[in-house]
Amino acid sequence: MRPAPAEIVRTLVAGRLPALVHLAQRPGPFHVRHVTDADGRVLLLVPVHSDLAAALPLGRGSDVAVALDVLDLPPAAGAPSLGRAWVSGWAAALHADAARRAALDFAEVDPTGDLLDVGTRFRLYRFEVAEARLERPDGLLRVDPVAYAEAEPDPLHPVETELLAELAVRHGREMAAYVRRQLGLVESGPDGPPRVVRVDRYGLLVSLGGPGARRRARLAFPGPVADHRELARLLHPMLCHHRPARVSPPPTA
């Protein structure tokens, strides 16, 4: 198994990566801080005194067509990008109780102190995703908005960089041995041992060689993992498979 396109788009636009927003018939694009709520709706946190705020409508009942543009940042040298996500809809300003509820939703992903100034120094805008696309080197894929809304962001994506660093630094030898066993490799290639370059809830992506290597393989987990703790429990027996048993010193007379 591997992430479906709808899951990848939900993961990329969740709010952990930098984003640009494009407005219909307006100059731009604009840098924007954003998250998505539990239903996949996009929340934009906009400074009151900014070019983006001047371009967005403020009145109740008014909205503007917007597109959010998020590019994946590979977490390690030689890791491929997941692609570029585009989601679009009609953004409207939130006021009073709606703004307060949206601030709580925003804080679930990004608990920034600027949310305390919503209504004074900042405004919140929201839009439901009417169109979603995933851009990859092999082309542009349209994602059904219903499938997007029903998908969940990958729980490992926010900590992927840290997970890969830990696997490389603390478990590099054991992980390389595990990958070789799984792929039936007798020994490492001329460019070095296999390296894990991406991890998601469904499995590991392995590069067979150095940072510039093109050969890759995917190792699937028995089932999707729920979080990094479940991943640690899953990987522990794999990494400890060939560790020598600890021998106690003989008793002294």
DSSP for residue 243: P
pLDDT at 223 over 90: yes
3-state helix, strand, coil in the chain (%, to 5): 30, 30, 40
Q: Are 151 and 4 in contact (CB under 8 A)?
A: yes
At 252, the pLDDT band (50, 70, 90 cuts) reads: very low
Pick the CATH number of 158-239 from 3.20.180.10, 3.40.50.970, 3.90.1490.10, 1.10.357.10: 3.20.180.10
Domain 5-153 sits in CATH at 2.30.110.10
Look at residue 217 and give its three-state secondary structure: strand
User: In the block, which residue shows the tokens 């940042």?
Assistant: 73
Mean pLDDT of the chain: 89
Q: What is the pLDDT of residue 249?
A: 38
pLDDT at 116 over 60: yes
Mean pLDDT along residues 71-85: 92
pLDDT at 64 over 80: yes
Q: Are 8 and 83 in contact (CB under 8 A)?
A: yes
- Residue ranges of alpha helices (H) inside the chain are 5-12, 51-55, 96-109, 145-150, 160-183, 228-239
Q: What is the pLDDT of residue 189?
A: 56
Q: What is the pLDDT of residue 248?
A: 33
- What tokens does 8 get? 């990848």
Q: Which tens digit of pLDDT belongs to each residue from 153-201?
A: 999 999 999 999 998 888 888 888 888 888 877 665 556 788 899 999 9
> Start-end ranges of CATH 3.20.180.10 in the chain?
158-239
Cα torsion for 193, 195, 201, 203, to the nearest 10°? -40
Q: What percent of the chain has pLDDT above 90?
A: 68
Mean pLDDT along residues 147-153: 97
d(C-alpha 80, C-alpha 214), whole Å: 10
pLDDT at 247 over 60: no
Q: Which tens digit of pLDDT belongs to each residue from 24-34?
A: 888 889 999 99
DSSP for residue 81: P
Mean pLDDT along residues 37-66: 92
Look at residue 221 and give its three-state secondary structure: coil
- What tokens does 230 get? 């479940």
Cα torsion for 49, 91, 150, 144, to the nearest 10°? -130
pLDDT at 231 over 70: yes
pLDDT at 129 over 80: yes
Q: Which of 35, 49, 22, 19 is closest to 117 using CA atoms?
A: 49
> Start-end ranges of CATH 2.30.110.10 in the chain?
5-153
pLDDT at 62 over 60: yes
